[in-house]
Amino acid sequence: MAKDSRLARAGVSGFNKPKRTPNHKTKSHIVVAKEGDKIKTIRFGQQGKTGDKTMTKRAKPFKARHAKNIKKGKMSAAFWANKVKW
């Protein structure tokens, strides 16, 4: 199978492998998400902000606010932000 052009364009090593994008003006990460036959390029995360891997005062409201979108799975930016940054 030939390598998908979206992977090269995004500069990631494979599907569902997030990568930091320090030169992007607003988003901190990019991922080419694949679920079944669906493929989607997703930019996520606020540039310059670090997530808290423990449940802190900042992490708890983020997870509560985005819970519905996180549950949507791999095809949502909230899922990736929760997995990678929080």
Residues 50-69, mean pLDDT to the nearest whole number? 89
Q: Residue 12 and residue 15: Cα distance in Å, rounded? A: 8
Residues 40-45, mean pLDDT to the nearest whole number? 96
Judged by average pLDDT, the poorest of 18-22, 30-34, 47-51, 60-64 is 47-51
Between residues 67 and 59, which one has the greater pLDDT? 67
CB-side neighbour CA atoms (13 Å) of 3: 10
Specify the pLDDT at position 2: 58
